[in-house]
Structure formats: C-alpha cells, structure tokens
A and B are shown apart, each in its own frame.
Chain A
Amino acid sequence: MRAGESGEVVDMLTVEQIENGTVIDHIPPGKGLAVLTILHIGADFKGRAALVMNVPSKRMGRKDIVKVEGVFIDEKNVDRVALIAPQATLNIIKGGKVSGKNKVELPTEVSGVFVCPNPKCVTNHEDVETHFTHSKRGLCCRHCERCFSPEELAK
C-alpha cells in the first residue's frame, strides 16, 4: 500500500500513478462508469484510463476513483461530473504530482453542456444552445420547461 494521487491510501495492485492527467476521487460507489461515460471516455479513447470501484473510504465508506492520463477536464465537464458525483474531488496531476485540487460544485445553471432528453424539445431540432436551471423539480430546460434528474441528463 502507498499514497495515491488523491492523497488516500489505495491498493497498488489496482491503481497505477499517472504522470499527467486528472484523477476524480470521491465518486459515489457504482457511479465511476457513468463519470467515464459523460467524459466520453470509451472504446475510442486511445490514452490510459483507470476505473477503480468500491475502494474503502473514510469519508464515504466506499467510493469509486477515475484516473485519466493526458486529459485535463474543462469547466463544462466539471459541471457534468458534478451532476452525478456532487462530492467528487478533482486532482490535476502534472509531472506525477498533484498540481491542483478542487471540489466540484453542483451548478445552479448549466448552459451548452447537456442535450435535452425531451425528443420534442426545440433544442434537439434547431441549432441552439441548451440551458438548464437547477430547482427542486430537478434540472429544468429553459426551452421546453421539462425537468430531469441529474442521471437522466448525464446519459
């Protein structure tokens, strides 16, 4: 056992350090795959990526961790991660060291990030940016006024 980029003790057998890239820590257990999906890291991704599931965590009991070599996620993708992993921590790794550490925050408004799941919404038919506002009804589309859960939007 040794300290990983996230600062917590992780299992050497399953997690390898990365030189440059992003480590997303404190993902709710079972949501790591969804995080990879919303970051569009799938079969076409040519870099190195790791998903570690159900790692013991002092804060969360269990958690998932995602590591992606050579990718520094931008603000839009931070918003996407925040929807399904609102407690997540982003660690930017440069030269094998943690150069930046940020907690994601659930945004109150998200523009141009998500596709509206309503097939009849005008944003799916015209060249227009989507805009969702967070409310108690969920994330509500400014155009069609329908509200969705974070999971529905992150699909």
Chain B
Amino acid sequence: MKDLVSIRDVDKKQATAIFKLADEMDSKSAPRKLAGKVLSTLFFEPSTRTRLSFHTAAARLGISLLDIESVGDSSIVKGESLVDTIKIVDGYADCIVLRHPLEGSARLAADLAEHPVINAGDGGNQHPTQTLIDLYTINRLKKKVGGLRVSLVGDLKYARTMHSLLYGLAMFGAEITLVSPASLQMDNAFIEDVKEQFGAKVRASNDMNFRDCDVLYVCRIQKERFADPYEAVRLQQEFRITLDSLKGAKDDIIILHPLPKVDEIAPEVDKSEKVRYFEQARYGVPVRMAILSDIMG
C-alpha cells in the first residue's frame, strides 16, 4: 500500500497480510526496523486512543515523531490551508497520519503528498485503521471472519465506524445483522453497495436478541444528533446492552466497541468474560505497527 485512505482501497488479501504482520508485531521481539524514519501525526480534532496508539506503535518501531501538540500551536490558526500544511509537512516527514474534520481531507492529502498518508479519521467518512483493528480483533479471537454472525448495534446512520465495518465484514463474508432504532438505521445505499459488491448477507432488525450471534459490535447513540435529548436517552435505554439482553446468547459470543463508551453498555457487563473491547483497544498498537511497517518499510 502507498496510502491508507479508505477501507475501500484495501482488498481481502492486503487486510489478511496486515493481520499476519500484526501478529508478528505483537510478539515481544518486534524489530525496531524503522529507526531513522520520521512520522508526522497531524490531529486537527481531539483523539485519545488513535493518537496514543499511533505514537506507541511508532515508538516500538523506532520511528521519530513530528507532532503538532494542538492546532492552536500551528499555522492553521493563521489561516493556512490544509493544502499548504500538507505540502510543508510532506517535506519533513516520511509518512503523514492525518485526522481532520473535513470529509475527503485524507484523500486530498494523499493526492498532494509524495510520502504516504494514513487516514486517522476524516469527519464522518472513513477511519480505515479502526476498521482493520476491528477485523483483526474478530479474526484473532474467533480464528475467522467469514461465516460469522455479526450484529452491529447502535447509531448506524451517523457512526463512520459502522459504515466502514459493514464494508470490511462484507468483504470477508460475515453475515451481518443491523440493530438500531428506526431513526438511526443505516442508509440503504451502504447496504445495497456491499450486497452488490460482495453478495453480502445483511438484514436489519430492531430486536435486541443475540441468540445466534457470534460477535456483538456496539457503538454509542450520539445525543447531539437529537433535537429532543430525552428521545436520545429513551432510545439508548431501549438499545442498551445489559446482562439481561445477553441472556440466551452463545457462551463464546464476543462484545466489541470502538470506545469511548458512555452508557450504551451497562457497567456490570464490563465484568463479563464476553467483553473484549479493552483487548480490542490494545490491538490498536500491533495493527498500527503493521500498517506503519507495510507503508513505511
């Protein structure tokens, strides 16, 4: 891969190669083979896990970081365009990791930069490294992705994580159930797209019953999307994962979440052995090490 802008740019073979490399990176003897290289992490929006795990991944590979602490410290506040910022940073760094609120900003950066660009989230559009972490986690914990029954629960309309994950799961041949309030259903265009491209099995449901489910992937309902905050609270309660909603679920079901979680999963569920989202967050490091190695190596 030259750049990683969208999960649509990654095929199954490339994703599988990243998984294999991530397994190697997760071993204690991962080589610091990129010493001397410079990675610029440009975060124009707040980030905790993505930023920290990229920094950790870079440190473990021996890569030096060129980081803007905050947009307020940069020329952006002086009105510099993204185009100019990318051209300047491209002259300093061997690779750019970009998070930016504008959709398509990473594609623009990749077109402009001679060095590789990795999209760390462009507004509501794509977050491909998160999708690869999600798929890696499923593959590592369940030993496969194809054929698994995966339920995506929560805000399927606005959450970029869910759009990209639907694509990735469909690419690997998982059977997908979309569970959401009617007002937060996934846009039909996304569903038709994966059905056409991969012959994916996708069905929509509002039933919080996970009896046949192998993987339960939850994301939060964003209160800011609702004019009436009470409506958001009501829907969150209705679509909340509790020990009760997990009754009848398979013993080996795994529960994943891109984090941060707020109140979409009851605190008592955190103690369940079915919960694997903290492990999922940890895999952010080896997967991002694998991506950096593939792109910068």
Residues of A within 8 A of B8 (CB): 145
Q: Is B259 an interface residue (CB 8 A)?
A: no
Residues of A within 8 A of B105 (CB): 122, 143
| CB-based contact A126/B108 at 8 Å | yes
Residues of B within 8 A of A128 (CB): 83, 108
Residues of B within 8 A of A141 (CB): 104
Residues of A within 8 A of B102 (CB): 120-122, 125-126
Q: Is A144 an interface residue (CB 8 A)?
A: yes
Q: Is A118 an interface residue (CB 8 A)?
A: yes
Within 102-155 of A, Cβ neighbours of B (below 8 Å) are at: 118, 120-123, 125-128, 136-138, 141-147
Q: A136-B196, A147-B189 are in contact. Are A120 and B108 (CB under 8 A)?
A: no
Residues of A within 8 A of B196 (CB): 136
Q: How far is the CB of B163 from chain A (nearest CB, A)?
A: 9
Chain A residue nearest to B8 (CB atoms) is A145
Q: A120-B123, A147-B189 are in contact. Are A142 and B103 (CB under 8 A)?
A: no
Within 174-213 of B, Cβ neighbours of A (below 8 Å) are at: 189, 192-193, 196
Which of A127, A137, A144, A147 sits near B104, CB closer than 8 Å? A144
Q: A126-B108, A145-B6, A145-B126 are in contact. Are A120 and B83 (CB under 8 A)?
A: no
Main secondary structure of the interface of B (DSSP, over half): mixed
Q: Is B101 an interface residue (CB 8 A)?
A: yes
| CB-based contact B83/A126 at 8 Å | yes
Q: What is the CA–CA distance of A13 and B123 in the complex, to the nearest angstrom? A: 55
Chain A residue nearest to B108 (CB atoms) is A122
Query: What total of chain B residues lie within 8 Å of the partner, measured CB to CB?
Result: 22
Q: Is B81 an interface residue (CB 8 A)?
A: yes
Chain A proximity mask over B82-111: 1 for CB below 8 Å, otherwise 0: 110000000000000000111111011000
| CB-based contact A123/B189 at 8 Å | no
Q: A121-B102, A122-B102, A126-B81 are in contact. Are A143 and B189 (CB under 8 A)?
A: no
Q: What is the CA–CA distance of A137 and B122 in the complex, to the nearest angstrom? A: 21
| CB-based contact A120/B124 at 8 Å | yes
| CB-based contact B108/A145 at 8 Å | no
Q: What is the CA–CA distance of A136 and B195 in the complex, to the nearest angstrom? A: 12
Q: How far is the CB of B6 from chain A (nearest CB, A)?
A: 6
Q: Is B125 an interface residue (CB 8 A)?
A: yes
Q: Which of B82, B105, B196 has the most CB of A within 10 A?
A: B105
Residues of B within 8 A of A138 (CB): 189
Q: How far is the CB of A149 from chain B (nearest CB, A)?
A: 11
Q: How far is the CB of A112 from chain B (nearest CB, A)?
A: 14
Chain A residue nearest to B81 (CB atoms) is A126
| CB-based contact A137/B192 at 8 Å | yes
Q: What is the CA–CA distance of A118 and B122 in the complex, to the nearest angstrom? A: 13
Which of B83, B103, B124, B193 sits near A143, CB closer than 8 Å? B103
Q: What is the CA–CA distance of A146 and B122 in the complex, to the nearest angstrom? A: 13
Q: Which of A118, A125, A126, A142 has the most CB of B within 10 A?
A: A126
Q: What is the CA–CA distance of A143 and B103 in the complex, to the nearest angstrom? A: 7
Q: A136-B196, A137-B192 are in contact. Are A143 and B107 (CB under 8 A)?
A: yes
Q: How far is the CB of B5 from chain A (nearest CB, A)?
A: 9
| CB-based contact B193/A145 at 8 Å | no
| CB-based contact B81/A127 at 8 Å | yes
Q: How far is the CB of A115 from chain B (nearest CB, A)?
A: 13
Residues of A within 8 A of B82 (CB): 122, 125-126
Q: What is the CA–CA distance of A122 and B5 in the complex, to the nearest angstrom? A: 14
Measuring CB to CB, which residues of chain B are less than 8 angstroms from any residue of chain A? Answer: 6, 8, 81-83, 100-105, 107-108, 122-126, 189, 192-193, 196
Residue pairs across A and B with Cβ atoms less than 8 A apart, 24 shown, are: A120-B101, A120-B123, A120-B124, A121-B103, A122-B103, A122-B105, A122-B108, A122-B122, A125-B102, A126-B108, A127-B81, A127-B83, A128-B108, A136-B193, A136-B196, A137-B193, A142-B104, A142-B107, A143-B103, A144-B103, A145-B8, A145-B104, A145-B126, A147-B189
Measuring CB to CB, which residues of chain A are less than 8 angstroms from any residue of chain B? Answer: 118, 120-123, 125-128, 136-138, 141-147
